[in-house]
């Protein structure tokens, strides 16, 4: 049975858009009608998602009865290792071959990699066309599909090439999580936990109480977790769309995490796994600065562990490698590394107010575990 359980709005003036959260929404093609403005649609997906959901989306679009609607699709290879400009070029090739004009709408059907690449293609094609996010992984549902960050990786740095380009809407079907491998589900929980750590201490406590059932995909609980996460992100994006201030807090754990992904090779560590380790490392540094207690660090570590996430980076990754990659992070200013750290549970700041010695101690601790 299809039903919208929650609707949120990302408030951005005339570029505001809805986020629909519910069950069976992939079968509810009418949600798409009001967000398709032209006569052309291109569905972008990957080789894992296509056999599961692509034909249903294509059939639903045809059933909308929009006169003269041209519906095309492209199936890309699956994996973070394909999130680069060459793959985006394939999307451009297909759009041009099928003669899509500037009124076309792209639909991103898949996880964060598909969403980021499709959004970037939409931002660049004919200097900007509309797109819709249909995220099918927990991580993309609670994080990357919302907020308009699009882009691709470079061998020297993750997400270093991109643009801000907001979608027309986001459609989150919690039933799609039933086909998600357990490892991917755990990776998504990292971003859920992040919201509790940076802004919602009561939500963090709720996660501690319900983490086992969330891993079992208890429908009401997973829907609530997604809603709480998305509501938090929507508020932050509305206040700081282009990340001049508050929005940077959403990168908690990501500077360490991106260093892990870049060093190990994209796709070897899932993004959420690297972020989980990065959050544990950021918590460790926050404790060394005297900002949070050791008991709070243990609570964070216990929740990450219960969510099936790593607490530290790869055993073979040394401090010099972290620092090399962290120097390429987008938050670096005038050669100074800035990190998101916790002043207390539920309150984060962007800061460079830490000594290199304390940062090195955290990196050394990662090797010692």
- CATH fold group of domain 182-368: Dehydroquinate synthase-like, alpha domain (1.20.1090)
What is the chain's Cα-based Rg?
20
Annotated catalytic, 305? no
pLDDT value at residue 186 = 98
Please say if 100 is a catalytic residue.
Answer: no
**Cβ neighbours around 296 below 10 Å, total:** 18
Known catalytic residue at 194: no
Mapped onto helix, strand or coil, the DSSP state of residue 160 is strand
Using DSSP, state whether 94 is helix, strand or coil.
helix
**Residue 369 has what pLDDT?**
62
Q: Residue 99 — φ and ψ, nearest 5°? A: 60, 50
Instruction: State how far the Cα of 149 lies from the Cα of 319, in Å rounded to an integer.
Output: 29
Sign of CA dihedral 47, 144, 165, 35: positive
Q: First CA to last CA across the chain, in angstroms?
A: 47
DSSP code per residue over 234-282: HHHHHH-TT-SSGGGGGGTTHHHHHHHHHHH-BTTB-HHHHHHHHHHHH
**251, 261, 263, 273: which is the annotated catalytic residue?**
251
Q: Provide the token pair at 305.
A: 């562990």
Residue whose entry in the numeric block shows the structure tokens 């977790």:
225
Q: 3-178 is classed in which CATH architecture?
A: 3-Layer(aba) Sandwich (3.40)
Q: Half-sphere exposure of 218 toward its Cβ, with a 13 Å CA cutoff?
A: 11
Active-site choice (158, 194, 233, 338):
233
Q: Looking at 14, 127, 244, 294, which residue is catalytic?
A: 127
Q: What is the pLDDT of residue 333?
A: 78
Give the model confidence (pLDDT) of 170-220 as tens digits. Answer: 999 999 999 999 999 999 999 999 999 999 999 999 999 999 999 999 999
**What are the boundaries of each domain within the chain?**
3-178, 182-368
- The yes-or-no answer on residue 251 being catalytic is yes
Name the active-site residue from 271, 288, 325, 338. Answer: 271
**Digitized pLDDT (tens) for each residue of the chain, 369 residues in all:** 568 889 999 999 999 999 999 999 999 999 999 999 999 999 999 999 999 999 999 999 999 989 999 999 999 999 999 999 999 999 999 999 999 999 999 999 999 999 999 999 999 999 999 999 999 999 999 999 999 999 999 999 999 999 999 999 999 999 999 999 999 999 999 999 999 999 999 999 999 999 999 999 999 999 999 999 999 999 999 999 999 999 999 999 999 999 999 999 999 999 999 999 999 999 999 999 999 999 999 999 999 999 999 999 998 898 889 999 999 887 787 779 999 999 999 999 999 999 999 999 999 887 766
What's the number of CA atoms in the CB half-sphere (13 Å) around residue 128? 7
- Other C-beta atoms closer than 10 Å to the C-beta of 311 total 18
233 labelled catalytic: yes
Question: Whole-angstrom Cα distance, residue 337 to residue 354?
Answer: 10
Active site residue 208: no
Q: Of these residues, 243, 261, 263, 273, which one is catalytic? A: 243
The residue from 158, 194, 247, 325 that is catalytic is: 247
The label of the residue with tokens 């060394």 reads 288
Entry pTM: 0.95
Strand partners, 203: none
Tell me how far apart the alpha carbons of residues 241 and 234 are, in angstroms, rounded to a whole number: 10
Q: Which residue of the set 83, 100, 254, 338 is catalytic?
A: 254
């Amino acid at each position: 049975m299809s039903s919208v359980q929650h609707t949120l709005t990302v408030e951005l003036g005339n570029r505001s858009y809805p986020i629909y959260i519910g069950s069976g929404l992939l079968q509810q093609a009418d949600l798409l009608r009001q967000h398709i403005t032209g006569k052309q649609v291109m569905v972008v997906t990957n080789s894992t998602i296509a056999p599961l959901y692509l034909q249903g989306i294509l059939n639903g679009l045809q059933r909308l009865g929009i006169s003269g609607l041209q519906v095309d699709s492209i199936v890309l290879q699956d994996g973070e290792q394909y999130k680069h400009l060459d793959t985006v070029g394939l999307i451009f090739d297909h759009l041009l071959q099928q003669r899509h004009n500037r009124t076309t709408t792209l639909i991103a059907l898949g996880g964060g990699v598909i969403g980021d690449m499709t959004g970037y293609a939409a931002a660049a094609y004919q200097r900007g066309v509309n797109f819709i996010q249909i995220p099918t992984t927990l991580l993309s549902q609670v994080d990357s599909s919302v907020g308009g960050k699009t882009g691709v990786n470079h061998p020297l740095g993750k997400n270093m090439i991109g643009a801000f380009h907001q979608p027309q809407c986001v459609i989150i079907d919690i039933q799609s999580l039933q086909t998600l491998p357990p490892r991917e589900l755990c990776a998504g929980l990292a971003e859920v936990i992040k919201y509790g750590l940076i802004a919602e201490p009561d939500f963090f406590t709720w996660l501690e109480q319900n983490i086992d059932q969330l891993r079992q995909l208890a429908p009401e609980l997973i829907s609530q977790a997604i809603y709480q996460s998305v509501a938090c992100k929507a508020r932050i994006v509305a206040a700081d769309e282009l990340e001049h201030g508050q929005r940077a807090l959403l990168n908690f754990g990501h500077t360490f995490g991106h260093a892990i992904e870049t060093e190990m090779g994209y796709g070897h560590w899932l993004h959420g796994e690297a972020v989980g380790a990065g959050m544990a490392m950021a918590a460790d540094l926050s404790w060394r600065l005297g900002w949070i207690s050791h008991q709070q660090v243990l609570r964070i570590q216990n929740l990450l562990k219960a969510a099936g996430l790593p607490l530290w980076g790869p055993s073979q990754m040394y401090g010099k490698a972290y620092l090399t990659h962290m120097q390429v992070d987008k938050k670096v200013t005038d050669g100074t590394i800035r990190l998101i750290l916790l002043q207390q549970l539920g309150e984060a700041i962007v800061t460079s107010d830490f000594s290199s010695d304390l940062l090195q101690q955290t990196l050394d601790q990662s090797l010692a575990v």
